[in-house]
Amino acid sequence: MEEEQEDDISLSENLDENGFPFLPSSSPQPEQTNDKPIDTIEESFSSEFYRGGTDWSGLLGNEKKKKKLKQANLFQLWGFKKPQEEESTLITRVSSLPAKAEEEKKQVVASSSGFGGRKPKGRDNQRRVCPFYKKIPGTPFTVDAFRYGGVEGCSAYFLSHFHYDHYGGLSKGWSHGPIYCTPLTARLVKMCLSVNPSFVYPMEFDTEHAIEGVKVTMLEANHCPGAALIHFRFQDGRCFLHTGDFRACKLMQTHPLLTNQRVSTLYLDTTYCNPKYKFPPKEDVLSFVVKVTRTSLKRQPKTLIVVGAYSIGKECVYLSISKALGVKIYANASRRRILQSYDWPELSDNLCSNGQDSPLHVLPISSLRHETLKQYLETYTPQYTAILAFRPTGWTYSETTGNHLDLIKPAIKGNSTIYGVPYSEHSSFLELREFVQFLKPDKIIPTVNVGNAATRDKMQSCFRQWLKS
Ligand SMILES: [Zn+2]
């Protein structure tokens, strides 16, 4: 598994080196082409899953053998169409769209020029079909399903957070239905993607909203700013929880919605659902980063500190250095614009717009190479004579270091030092296990790394183990 995938780093021609969409221009933007590798993975999973069939009975916990679910029954239970029917549906859309708009969209799909003159790769112009794990059965809801155009029967599109692999497909021209997300995500969607504000519905955290007869609440996900767990409560009392991307923590176990009501179905961020993924708590990594910085400055006071960043998230890595040293944070104008939109005064009050005003700089993660860093340092000579960079990764595999941060060996070349630090905004394997054992859901639907049958089987075997009472 590539680090880039795990770490929300979906390098794309649609994104700049900072992981943000290119600023919209005044000319009409073509719709995103849906030809990214991640789409292929999701689509092929969907087809493969349908073809191969999966017995989910192992996920039923106590009910086990008595209620052995068959694949067909599960589809019926959830109200899904048979795969053949879905596969043949090139595009589906919200039925309430005016006839003219419907007709226009048919034309867009029928003509490859609707994708900026380029043919979508290898799919015979077919729009991809929204996979089942992005739908909430028994509702007209989808979660993080924007790359499929309008989804048949969907009248409410939820967005868990502003990372490309979740919002991909959203663009200025979005008109398939209302988008529900947290206020911060809503601001980013409007600011970075120029989505028509009339389609964007911000929902404050911890406030229940009635949508299509379902009570929906956004919960803090402990991932990137604005990221939410989405809690659905149906009229019959059943609750579903979609984690989006999250890092499970003790605090979540005290949330009234999760302690007082049983969650029957859990859509789970399984990014690190493998026992090999062990990493320390975020706080430990932040202390380590501050300690290394202080030691380096003691040795060489003229050291420029760089933190690599991609897209949104991991802001605490540079904020903790800023607070510990009492220095401002330098970031370029486009990143400052994003950071200032967070409504996070501790962060926005500490930004500066001139690189010479602070020894702490945020750079695109792609610049964290010795040669690039040395060139960067030269532009600040003689103010600084050495450079210390941190690359916050999701996980860095090393049998020897494990959770022992002090064993991390930096890459050093001359006056350039680079530390990879395991600062993760996804749950570790043990955190996942603890969260699942706390919730005790009847069913778990993994949402990450589902493209491979062997991985899916391993995950299901984990879930069975965890849910054994
Ligand atoms: Zn994410």
**What's the pLDDT tens digit per position in 328-342?**
999 999 999 999 999
How far is the centre of ligand 1, averaged over its atoms, from the C-alpha of 78 (Å)?
A: 27
Q: pLDDT averaged over the chain?
A: 80
Q: Over pLDDT 70: what percentage of the chain?
A: 73
**Rounded to whole angstroms, how far apart are CA atoms 90 and 97?**
17
How far is the centre of ligand 1, averaged over its atoms, from the C-alpha of 291 (Å)?
A: 28
Of 119-133, 249-263, 307-321, least confident by mean pLDDT is 119-133
Instruction: With H, G, I as helix, E, B as strand and everything else as coil, classify residue 465.
Output: helix
How far is the centre of ligand 1, averaged over its atoms, from the C-alpha of 102 (Å)?
A: 32
Residue-wise pLDDT for 73-84, tens only, equals 333 333 333 333
How far is the centre of ligand 1, averaged over its atoms, from the C-alpha of 164 (Å)?
A: 8
How far is the centre of ligand 1, averaged over its atoms, from the C-alpha of 9 (Å)?
A: 9
Angle at 314 between CA 313 and CA 320, to 5 degrees: 140
How far is the centre of ligand 1, averaged over its atoms, from the C-alpha of 68 (Å)?
A: 34
How far is the centre of ligand 1, averaged over its atoms, from the C-alpha of 225 (Å)?
A: 10
> What pLDDT, on the 0 to 100 scale, is given for residue 421?
94
How far is the centre of ligand 1, averaged over its atoms, from the C-alpha of 22 (Å)?
A: 19
Closest C-alpha among 178, 44, 31, 151 to residue 90: 151
How far is the centre of ligand 1, averaged over its atoms, from the C-alpha of 229 (Å)?
A: 12
**Rounded to whole angstroms, how far apart are CA atoms 257 and 261?**
6
Better-predicted residue by pLDDT, 467 or 113 = 467
pLDDT, mean of residues 139-157: 97
Banded pLDDT at 469 (limits 50, 70, 90): low
pLDDT, mean of residues 120-145: 80
Residues 6 or more apart whose CB falls under 8 angstroms from that of 295 comprise none
How far is the centre of ligand 1, averaged over its atoms, from the C-alpha of 235 (Å)?
A: 30
How far is the centre of ligand 1, averaged over its atoms, from the C-alpha of 106 (Å)?
A: 32
Given a cut of 70, whether residue 377 has pLDDT beyond it is yes
Distances (CA, A) of 65 to 56, 68, 69, 73, 343: 11, 5, 9, 15, 51
How far is the centre of ligand 1, averaged over its atoms, from the C-alpha of 146 (Å)?
A: 15
All CATH 3.60.15.10 domain ranges of the chain, comma separated, are 31-276+429-467
Residue-wise pLDDT for 234-248, tens only, equals 999 999 999 999 999
> What pLDDT, on the 0 to 100 scale, is given for residue 16?
81
Residues 6 or more apart whose CB falls under 8 angstroms from that of 137 comprise 77, 78, 79, 80
How far is the centre of ligand 1, averaged over its atoms, from the C-alpha of 460 (Å)?
A: 22
How far is the centre of ligand 1, averaged over its atoms, from the C-alpha of 356 (Å)?
A: 32
**Rounded to whole angstroms, how far apart are CA atoms 280 and 141?**
36
pLDDT, mean of residues 373-384: 97
Of 16-30, 311-325, 424-438, 446-460, least confident by mean pLDDT is 16-30
In single-letter form, the type of residue at position 230 comes to: I
**CATH class name, domain 31-276+429-467:** alpha beta
All CATH 3.40.50.12650 domain ranges of the chain, comma separated, are 282-422
End-to-end CA distance of the chain: 32
Residue-wise pLDDT for 415-458, tens only, equals 999 999 999 999 999 999 999 999 999 999 999 999 899 999 99
> What pLDDT, on the 0 to 100 scale, is given for residue 21?
81
Query: For 282-422, CATH number?
Result: 3.40.50.12650
Given a cut of 50, whether residue 141 has pLDDT beyond it is yes
Is residue 337 within 8 Å of residue 213, measured between CB atoms?
A: no
How far is the centre of ligand 1, averaged over its atoms, from the C-alpha of 459 (Å)?
A: 20
Better-predicted residue by pLDDT, 53 or 200 = 200
Tokens 């600040």 identify what position? 380
How far is the centre of ligand 1, averaged over its atoms, from the C-alpha of 383 (Å)?
A: 37
How far is the centre of ligand 1, averaged over its atoms, from the C-alpha of 33 (Å)?
A: 21
How far is the centre of ligand 1, averaged over its atoms, from the C-alpha of 244 (Å)?
A: 8
Q: Over pLDDT 90: what percentage of the chain?
A: 67
**Rounded to whole angstroms, how far apart are CA atoms 78 and 48?**
18
pLDDT, mean of residues 123-130: 66
How far is the centre of ligand 1, averaged over its atoms, from the C-alpha of 269 (Å)?
A: 9
> What pLDDT, on the 0 to 100 scale, is given for residue 418?
97
How far is the centre of ligand 1, averaged over its atoms, from the C-alpha of 44 (Å)?
A: 21
How far is the centre of ligand 1, averaged over its atoms, from the C-alpha of 46 (Å)?
A: 21
**Rounded to whole angstroms, how far apart are CA atoms 439 and 251?**
13
How far is the centre of ligand 1, averaged over its atoms, from the C-alpha of 72 (Å)?
A: 32
How far is the centre of ligand 1, averaged over its atoms, from the C-alpha of 8 (Å)?
A: 5
